Amino acid sequence: QCIQKKITEYFSKT
Amino acid sequence: MLELRLVQGSLLKKVLEAIRELVTDANFDCSGTGFSLQAMDSSHVALVALLLRAEGFEHYRCDRNLSMGMNLNNMAKMLRCAGNDDIITIKADDGSDTVTFMFESPKQDKIADFEMKLMDIDSEHLGIPDSEYQAIVRMPSAEFMRICKDLSSIGDTVIISVTKEGVKFSTSGEIGSANIVCRQNQTVDKPEEATVIEMQEPVSLTFALRYMNSFTKASSLSDQVTISLSSELPVVVEYKIAEMGYIRFYLAPKIEE
């Protein structure tokens, strides 16, 4: 079972 | 005051067609560097970053940094009214709540103005650090588009694996499974048909094909696509925009629970 990661888990807000 | 004149207006038309499926509303940022955009899809799984450098415009005037919120479907409706050979000028006054797209035919015998309402968009801006990638694959964009389309008729996800043998695209679904391997192929006389693999170490990642298929809408912008992979990072799918900049799509992987 794969879970979809979110882009916000890798790049942070500026 | 903002005035950007793009002789190859079709580039802007293609850019819009490439991103409007992924993103509905976005802020276009204009600065001395160029005309840019960063936006995420509604699920925050994918991100698009566009840069059209100031030097790529025949005329580029941007008195102060300006962020213009646009509905991309409405913008696409307006840009579809421009001929493929038309020169497109984007104009906006400081503090105005509209933007004007001016289309000039190559012979200058037809000039059209389309004024579009701007909107306030509260968008998050993410910092994307420069990263070292474990593997970088450069291949014909049409080939990558074909692979994503073919695999999506079999499964919902693609596993992209890079080894010294080449790059493998795999999927599986209810009806069966599929593997497509592309080997390095540096055709000397036709660089646009080359497949080049730079691998620091083998990498294998899983992605949703729906997003990959959406990214391939940018294929008309560039003969080649660059896919950068690292196990700790979103994949980057980049299409260079001739002499002007790029459109980069970032997609978070699917991870085994």
Q: What is the mean pLDDT of residues B188-217?
A: 95
> Which residues from chain A sit within 8 angstroms of residue B257, using beta carbons?
1-3
For residue B127, which amino acid is it?
A: G
Chain A residue with minimal CA distance to B126? A13
Residue of A nearest to B159 (CA): A2
| ipTM of the complex in this document | 0.96
Minimal C-alpha gap between A7 and chain B (Å):
5
What are the start-end ranges of the H helices in chain B?
10-19, 72-79, 141-152, 209-215
Is B206 an interface residue toward A (CB < 8 Å)? yes
Contacts of B47 in chain A (CB under 8 A): 7, 11
Nearest of B30, B47, B13 to residue B233 by alpha carbon = B47
CA distance B207 to chain A (A): 8
Amino acid making up residue B8: Q
Residue with tokens 């620091």: B200
Q: For the segment B141-186, what is each residue's pLDDT rounded down to a tens digit?
A: 999 999 999 999 999 999 999 998 899 999 999 999 999 999 999 8
How close does chain A come to B232, measured CA to CA in Å?
A: 8
**CA B132/CA B121 separation, integer angstroms:** 32
User: Which pLDDT score is estimated for B120?
Assistant: 94
CB contact under 8 A, A1 and B257: yes
State whether residue B156 sits within 8 Å of chain A by CB.
no
**Three-state DSSP class for residue B35:** strand
CA closest to B236 among chain A residues = A7
User: Measured between CB atoms, does B124 come within 8 Å of chain A?
Assistant: yes
DSSP string, B112-177: EEEEEE--------EE------SEEEEEEHHHHHHHHHHHHTT-SEEEEEEETTEEEEEEEETTEE
> What pLDDT score does B189 carry?
84
For B86-126, write each residue's pLDDT tens digit. Answer: 999 999 998 899 999 999 999 999 999 999 999 999 888 89
Is the predicted pLDDT of residue B71 greater than 80, yes or no? yes
Contacts of A1 in chain B (CB under 8 A): 256-257
Within its chain, how far is the Cα of B216 from the centroid? 8
* Confidence check: pLDDT of A1 > 80: no
